[in-house]
Amino acid sequence: MSAALHHMMSWIIAWAHTPHATTALAVLAFAESSFFPIPPDVLLITLCLIDPTRSAWFALVCTLSSVLGGAFGYAIGRYGGRPLLERFVSETKIRAVERYYQRYDVWAVGIAGFTPIPYKVFTISAGTFLLPFKRFLAASALGRGGRFFLVAGLFFFFGEPIGDFVKKYLNLLSVLFAVLLVGGFATMHWWSKRQARSAATEPASSQEPS
């Protein structure tokens, strides 16, 4: 970690000990969804450590602000277009994002929102590729909310002793959950296709020869 990034993280964590801690969390969550490099988990974990009983409130603030920030990132991509996206994201990452969208549709945003995959890349690219905005918001809320409420729930039920575990294994837990999530989507997709094929063949089989 560079000295500048370390200094920035220390500055963010310091906000947890001020009367404006919740506001700082909201601003950080909003900014990280479109342009800021440090995820809000840093401040969220600190606040949950300080006051585990308010963990759900912190997670709610973080989720709503992050989704609003994602909508702002979507607008950046929507009105800035691919040339703007290419200024901030390498062509390799853009092609990788396109593959995610081709495979998972708008739910790629939800996966990115929950896992260590850079969420801001997906919010801006979602606008650039003109993904349906309402579905984008739904996927963002599920992904971001799942991640932040997972953290909050661990602190609420287990308190300070869980702190080191969360900080050490948060990304691993997120990836494992995302694997289960993708598996669920794949199962639903397979089942819906199977049902569609059954519905298509049923009329033909039900016809009797004259």
Asked whether residue 2 is assigned to any structural domain, the reply reads no
Question: Who wins on pLDDT, 133 or 91?
Answer: 133
183 occurs within a structural domain: yes
Quote the pLDDT of residue 21: 95
- pLDDT above 50 (res 179): yes
The arithmetic mean of pLDDT across residues 191-195, rounded, is: 52
pLDDT, position 210: 46
* Angstrom distance (rounded) from CA 100 to CA 3: 33
Q: Classify residue 103: in a domain, yes or no.
A: yes
> Which residue blocks in 89-106 are alpha helix, DSSP H?
91-104
pLDDT at residue 192, as a whole number: 47
Whole-number pLDDT of residue 55 = 93
Domain that holds residue 40: 20-187
| Residue-by-residue DSSP string for 106-160 | THHHHHHHHSSS-HHHHHHHHHHTT--HHHHHHHHHHHHHHHHHHHHHHHHHH-G
Q: Once rounded to an integer, what is the mean pLDDT over residues 76-100?
A: 82
Residue 8 lies in a domain: no
Q: Which of 26-35, 107-116, 158-167, 191-200 has the highest mean pLDDT?
A: 26-35
- What pLDDT score was predicted for residue 28? 95
CA dist 129 and 145 (Å) reads: 24
Residue 12 lies in a domain: no
Tens digits of residue pLDDT in 99-139: 888 888 888 888 888 877 778 888 988 998 889 999 999 99
pLDDT of 15 over the 60 cut:
yes
Tally of domains within the chain? 1
Per-residue pLDDT at 193 exceeds 70: no
Residue 195 lies in a domain: no
CA distance 192 to 183: 14
Instruction: Tell me, yes or no, whether 199 lies in a domain.
Output: no
Q: Give residue for tokens 């729930």.
A: 153
Give the pLDDT score at 27: 96
Q: Is residue 196 part of a domain?
A: no
pLDDT of the residue at 62: 96
| Residue 188: predicted pLDDT | 43
Q: Which two tokens stand for residue 35?
A: 């342009």
